């Protein structure tokens, strides 16, 4: 593997104020790296060490602004994206996730950035049919993608692959669902945990989850910056769970019964369509409790084996996701405005036995 001496390099982190991004920034600074964070104008960033980072406020849909932010940077990590499974304007996924990635890659190439790590997602790795385990060798096609989010992320990863194929030093990492403290913007799993804590979940869907501590994701990105192979995708994954196992774990921890009713897929899909319609046209300030993409993804296999990537990047051992979930709940319960107010008291030391 090529080794990149990044001790004094300036690293551009797009989306550095997000869940993964904020942990990545902290780890890069702890390694003695210089960091420039790129975030959308108006994004709250008071949780970042603002006296230790450069800030570039720009939208990744603006090539001129991205070009300016990339100047003088030796390496870049492209995290910025719309990570949700639903948006009121679905064209945002194509504009931000796909075209925004193309902008970042091209601007980094023009600016002479030596290496780019593109952060993809596990959501694009599950082909229809079968219940096989996903590895680094799993291949999917655009026609396999469910919904505009997954299509946009598949196209963005393909853009990164194409850039690497044309000679640009681009490494791809594919994290599964991050867990742990600091999800200020509340991704889909955090919202599901909130709904369970607040008594809103009355049934469950059969389906798989793979989770990894957000700090292990950040550590994997740092490793990819230093020793990843250009053009090679790495899985950043850890523990395979089912949705029911997660709800049962939350129930044991919060002393609340997990739902026993398995929701039929067809009923869940109808509910998701109604939720999206209501949030798009009626209650426009509310996010849907269930999304069509999220429900449809439960019909795909999402069990992973990422041992080869973990060994190649030197990521073992990883944190126990049970501890990470408890940290996540504890952190969320202390944050105003996140809607965890109705949750039972959460104690960091009360993890039930696996």
Which one-letter DSSP state was computed for residue 188? H
Query: What mean pLDDT is predicted for residues 313-333?
Result: 93
> For residue 108, how many C-alpha atoms fall within 13 Å in the half-sphere facing its CB?
31
**Per-residue model confidence as pLDDT tens digits over 28-54:** 999 999 999 999 999 999 999 999 999
Q: What's the pLDDT band for 86 if we cut at 50, 70, 90?
A: confident
Q: Which helix (H) or strand (E) holds 36?
A: strand 34-39
User: Does the predicted TM-score (pTM) go above 0.85?
Assistant: yes
C-alpha span between 70 and 61 (Å, rounded) = 14
**Per-residue model confidence as pLDDT tens digits over 222-243:** 999 999 999 999 999 999 999 9
Q: Which domains does the chain have, with CATH numbers?
A: 10-179+211-239+302-319 (3.40.50.720)
CB count, 10 Å around CB of 52?
11
HEC profile of 21-56: HHHHHHHHHHCCCEEEEEECCCCCCCCCCCCCCEEE
C-alpha span between 104 and 77 (Å, rounded) = 10
SS3 106: helix
Name the nearest CA neighbour of 297 among 149, 193, 91. Answer: 149
């Amino acid at each position: 593997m090529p080794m990149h001496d990044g001790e004094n390099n300036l690293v551009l982190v797009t989306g550095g104020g997000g869940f993964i991004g904020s942990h990545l920034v902290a780890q890069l600074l702890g390694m003695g790296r210089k960091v420039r964070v790129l975030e959308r104008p108006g994004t709250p960033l008071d949780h970042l060490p603002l006296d230790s980072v450069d800030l570039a406020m720009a939208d990744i849909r603006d090539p001129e602004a991205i070009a300016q932010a990339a100047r003088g940077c030796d390496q870049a990590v492209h995290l910025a994206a719309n990570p949700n499974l639903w948006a009121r304007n679905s064209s945002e996924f194509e504009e931000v996730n796909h075209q925004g990635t193309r902008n970042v890659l091209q601007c980094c190439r023009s600016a002479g950035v030596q290496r780019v790590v593109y952060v993809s997602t596990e959501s694009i790795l599950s082909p229809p049919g079968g219940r096989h385990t996903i590895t680094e060798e799993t291949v999917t096609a655009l026609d396999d993608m469910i919904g505009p989010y997954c299509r946009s992320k598949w196209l963005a990863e393909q853009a990164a692959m194409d850039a690497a194929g044309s000679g640009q030093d681009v490494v791809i990492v594919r994290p599964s669902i991050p867990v742990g403290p600091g999800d200020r913007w509340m991704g889909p799993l955090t919202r599901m945990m909130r709904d369970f804590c607040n008594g809103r979940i009355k049934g469950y869907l059969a389906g798989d989850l793979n989770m990894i501590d957000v700090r292990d994701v950040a550590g994997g990105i740092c490793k990819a910056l230093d020793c990843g192979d250009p053009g090679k995708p790495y899985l950043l994954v850890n523990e395979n769970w089912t949705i029911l196992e997660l709800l049962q774990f939350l129930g044991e921890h919060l002393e609340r019964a997990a739902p026993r009713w398995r929701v039929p897929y067809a009923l869940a899909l109808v509910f998701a369509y109604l939720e999206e319609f209501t949030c798009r046209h009626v209650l426009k300030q509310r996010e849907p409790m269930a999304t069509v993409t999220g429900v449809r993804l439960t019909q795909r296999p999402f069990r992973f084996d990422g041992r080869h990537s973990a060994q190649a990047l030197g990521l073992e051992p990883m944190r126990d996701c049970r501890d990470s979930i408890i940290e996540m709940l504890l952190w969320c319960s202390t944050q105003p405005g996140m809607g965890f107010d109705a949750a039972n008291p959460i104690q960091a030391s009360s993890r039930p036995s696996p």
